Structure 1
Amino acid sequence: LKKIAPAYKGIVLYTSKAMDGLTLGNRIVDPVQLPGLIEEWEKKRAVAEAGRDLPGEKAVAGRRKPVGKAKPKAVIAKPRAEPELMPSRWIETDVPEPPDLELHILRDLPTEEIFKYVNVNMLYGKHLWVENLTKRLKDQNDEKLLKLQGQVREVFEEAVWEDIIVPQAIHRWFRAWPEGEQICVENPDGGEPEKFYFPRQRNSEELSAVDWIRPRELGGDYVNMFVCTTGPDVGYKSTQMRKEGRLLASHILQALALEMTEATAEWLHEKLRRDWGFADPPSFMLEDLFKARYRGIRLSFGYPACPVIEDQKGLFRLLKPEQIGVELTEGMMMDPEASLSAMLFHHPQARYFGSGF
């Protein structure tokens, strides 16, 4: 209600439990119950807009309304039609030279090594619904978890053996420079540069990813772009498993495909940092990678710092990831689903943030 609902015209509903979601769904499609549901939502929204605690929320200890003149809230404006009105604010740092500006297609990736980069919290906690995962991972005698881990390993080995999970990637370094709230990326084919929109926050920080790119008049900069995928046949294999009555295996395969794509991105990003001349320290652990404690950052279009998902078109024109079997749909989604695209920045101060749009 406080963060998501303001961005939509209709009602925004949320439940923390799957069964509650079913109940909520029934109320939505029931013409008798829907008016009451909308009335409840309107009351909650009014409470949220007034800045009061929502029913069921814990009050923050010691919180009071400020006495005297209230501090004005930051106003977030609409994206401007002329991005050049908000220029880059380059933060001085070294600009490492990439090893080359050639296109790299990586087909024979080390699947077993990439599997080690899978985020178990996401795989088991989010996709496979294991509760109290952190505690249970420490318990060497948790038979249910051990059994599930064995099933995951079996599905993984089957998928690798049958060439269902086949990690691939395509990447390239490009010359780049800021132009207002856009990053211009040089077209290696000699055409017009591709421009990617990174709207500046309209709040006190006024952050934008363009500040991590050295201006052209100072020599310009570099970015890396990549697309990775785990292969086109996951959907077919998953459907086949369901028809055979292997429902859990089917779900595990889909979860594995998604998390193997994330793992491939993590593995590749680590490699690219090393090739770019700023390798992670030897003491780095997987937890450090998952928490993005390395130098630089990778951003994907459609997420808070770069919300214009249509910029995927520019990335696809530059990389042509169709060469590894990844295509862009009319809705700017990638096919196969287990695919990921990103733009990499080297700047030490680069960090995640929301633009507010």
Structure 2
Amino acid sequence: IAPCYSNAVVHVHDASKSVGVANSLMSETLKGAFLQDVDKEFERLRNLHYKTHSDSKIIPLSEARKNKLKVDWAQVTVKKPSFIGNRSFTDFPMEEIAAFIDWTPFFHTWELKGSYPKIFDDPQRGVEAKKLFNDAQEMLNKIMQEKWITANAVIGFYPANANTEDDILIYADDQQKNLKTTLRTLRQQTLKPKGHFNLALADFVAPADSGKVDYVGGFAVTTGIGIEKWIEKFDKDFDDYSSIMLKALADRLAEAFAELMHLKVRKELWGYANTEALSREELIKEKYQGIRPAQGYPACPDHTEKLTQFELFEVEKNTGITLTESMAMYPTSSVSGMYFSHPFSQYFGLGKINKEQLEDYARRKGQDLSIIERWLSPVLI
């Protein structure tokens, strides 16, 4: 934006820093030097961005598909989930969820860089981090004891196969006579070194010509039901600290809920890793089998696919989560995504794609090219 605008353009990463930035912009003595530093940093970031993407060679979509992940599906064991369809979890015990909180990102919300619990020993940040943590524990206890917010979830499993166009075909049952819906995925198009593949999420599902019925899962969790009345109360009392604290805790609880449900999926509901015995640190480092990519993240940047997933898993009915026009989830303390079970499933970044794949994707989705172009603009060359 900055090169196209004559006045100041400043990106503030967190609300807690906005007051200091605003003061610098309003100060006659600080403004000049502050903006000079910002302009210099933005120029560095732009140059880095241009260099990174100009060095990447885009290959034709047909070549990318030929270089898909190589899997000998005849040797792959497919585990059938314990149920087909959707299952809801209403008013899930918050105490169970809280045990799965990853506290490191909580401190990052408050611009305190460091990992938990080592941050408490930091000579510069330790005292502030400990006070913040104690305040968080106090509010977390109130959340649980007084039931400030409610946690809901839905988990679903369906038979599936991949086609040759990077789509995942979802069926109502194992007979595969009733196509329930189709999930569209995108494929990496940058030239890969020898031995590396151009991945798409569809690679992690058995192809239709493999002769195997495979399965995919999906989920949506929220820990934000009922939060609004508390935010309104804190805002009315001009208690910004408590308002930010509650939002930060609700966000951490939502991520913890997603982690907890994924564990239940692996060990019980799908059961493909029923002997898993990982530590909390290993869970945080994602040492488990399978992945749970969320729409909008690097492997699947198209937020509109949430519409398909929300319909398939009946998310609004089962959890109370809705989608805004911009495809954001409400309540905001919510997480949704898909489950892939095979050990070769992996997280990856899509990278840049060209207009050829954009047009192919729009055709497959049956949507106007201009609409898809708007949603995928961040990944287009």
- Give TM-score scaled by structure 1 length: 0.76
* Secondary structure at 2:183 match in 1: strand
- Where does residue 183 of structure 1 map in the other structure? 168
1:117 aligns with 2:100: yes
Shift of 1:162: 3.7
- Where does residue 348 of structure 1 map in the other structure? 343
Report if aligned partners of 1:235, 1:254 keep a CA contact under 8 Å in 2. Answer: no
- Where does residue 130 of structure 1 map in the other structure? 112
Shift of 1:329: 1.2
Report if aligned partners of 1:151, 1:249 keep a CA contact under 8 Å in 2. Answer: no
Matching residue's letter, 1:307: P
Distance 1:207 1:39 in 2: 37
Shift of 1:278: 2.9
* Secondary structure at 1:148 match in 2: helix
- Where does residue 94 of structure 1 map in the other structure? 77
Mapping for residues 8-87 of structure 1, pairs under 5 Å: 18=17, 21-22=21-22, 44=44, 48=48, 73-76=55-58
- Where does residue 154 of structure 1 map in the other structure? 138
Report if aligned partners of 2:169, 2:179 keep a CA contact under 8 Å in 1. Answer: no
Distance 1:346 1:220, change over 3 A: same
* Secondary structure at 2:221 match in 1: strand
Shift of 1:301: 0.6
Shift of 1:245: 4.1
1:336 aligns with 2:328: no
Matching residue's letter, 2:296: G
Deviations along 1:185-208, whole A, 9 cap, x unmatched? 225794552222232343203122
Matching residue's letter, 2:206: R
Report if aligned partners of 2:69, 2:199 keep a CA contact under 8 Å in 1. Answer: no
Distance 1:149 1:190 in 2: 51
Distance 1:158 1:42 in 2: 42
Distance 1:131 1:195 in 2: 38
Distance 2:178 2:154 in 1: 20
Report if aligned partners of 2:162, 2:202 keep a CA contact under 8 Å in 1. Answer: yes
Distance 2:128 2:144 in 1: 24
Distance 2:293 2:119 in 1: 32
Distance 1:136 1:41, change over 3 A: closer
1:261 aligns with 2:254: yes
- Where does residue 197 of structure 1 map in the other structure? 185
Shift of 1:173: 0.4
Shift of 1:333: 0.9
Shift of 1:109: 1.8
Question: Which stretch shifts more, 195-204 or 265-274?
Answer: 195-204
Distance 1:165 1:46 in 2: 42
Mapping for residues 198-347 of structure 1, pairs under 5 Å: 198-204=186-192, 205-218=197-210, 219-275=212-268, 276-279=270-273, 283-323=277-317, 324-347=319-342
Distance 2:276 2:183 in 1: 36
Deviations along 1:1-38, whole A, 9 cap, x unmatched? xxxx9xx99689667894775478779xxxx99x9899
Distance 1:46 1:316 in 2: 36
* Secondary structure at 1:298 match in 2: coil
Shift of 1:344: 0.5
Report if aligned partners of 2:185, 2:200 keep a CA contact under 8 Å in 1. Answer: no
* Secondary structure at 2:57 match in 1: coil
- Give TM-score scaled by structure 2 length: 0.72
Distance 1:83 1:167 in 2: 45
Unmatched segments (≥5 aa) in structure 1: 53-71
* Secondary structure at 1:259 match in 2: helix
Choose between structure 1 and 2: higher helix proportion.
2
Distance 1:348 1:9, change over 3 A: farther
Distance 1:230 1:83, change over 3 A: farther
Query: CA RMSD, aligned part only?
Result: 3.8
Deviations along 1:72-110, whole A, 9 cap, x unmatched? 9432369x6x99966964523321111110310001422
Shift of 1:129: 3.4
% identity of equivalent residues: 25
